[in-house]
Structure 1
Amino acid sequence: MGSAEAMVTARMAVDKKEEGNRVLAALGTNASKAVNQLYDYVIEEQALPFGRRAVERAAHSPAEIAAAIALVDGLVAPVAGEYRTMSLKEARLARLGIPSPSAEEPR
């Protein structure tokens, strides 16, 4: 393939773009590479890689989020050894791979 000669423009919510760019960076790529891979797939397969209709992410209200957290927190499961000494907040952050701010402070 030759050098880039055309530009594709798309419109989306700013927060979706920012979050998507963070995820793409974590995956070692960027929006241009991802769009190029999408076009390569569409050209080769004559289909979209995610079905006929893209599903828009639904916005959830604070009440829906609180209900989902309560549901998950209400599930009973054995606690893994590494989480036994953590607060609920620290465990949640650890499960998401986010360092806890209190992890830097001595206990």
Structure 2
Amino acid sequence: MATKSSNLYARIEPDVKEQAEKILSALGIPASNAINMFYKQIILQRGLPFDVKLPSSRPVNMPALSEAELNAELEKGYAAIKTGRTKEASAVFADIRKDYNL
């Protein structure tokens, strides 16, 4: 293993730092080791080890819709139901919890 002799200084939002360090502590991983693992993954992946992109679509702003736009959105939902393109509510909530780490 290479000698650790380089320092890294970064500004991090206090709340983000606190939450991350609680999780790392529960995992038994010091923050410096986690940062080192992150950097190694950057090297192995030749980029960030996760997708960094804008969402392909935005949630519909229901209050801002006109009556015609609202009807069009409702029709999309109805068409999805008719063609079987639906998910169980429990699966949707599981996805939300996963996406937002809840």
Query: Shorter chain as normaliser: what TM range?
Result: 0.3 to 0.5
Higher-Rg member (1/2): 2
Structure with the higher fraction of residues in helix conformation? 2
TM-score (norm 2): 0.47
TM superposition score normalised by structure 1: 0.45
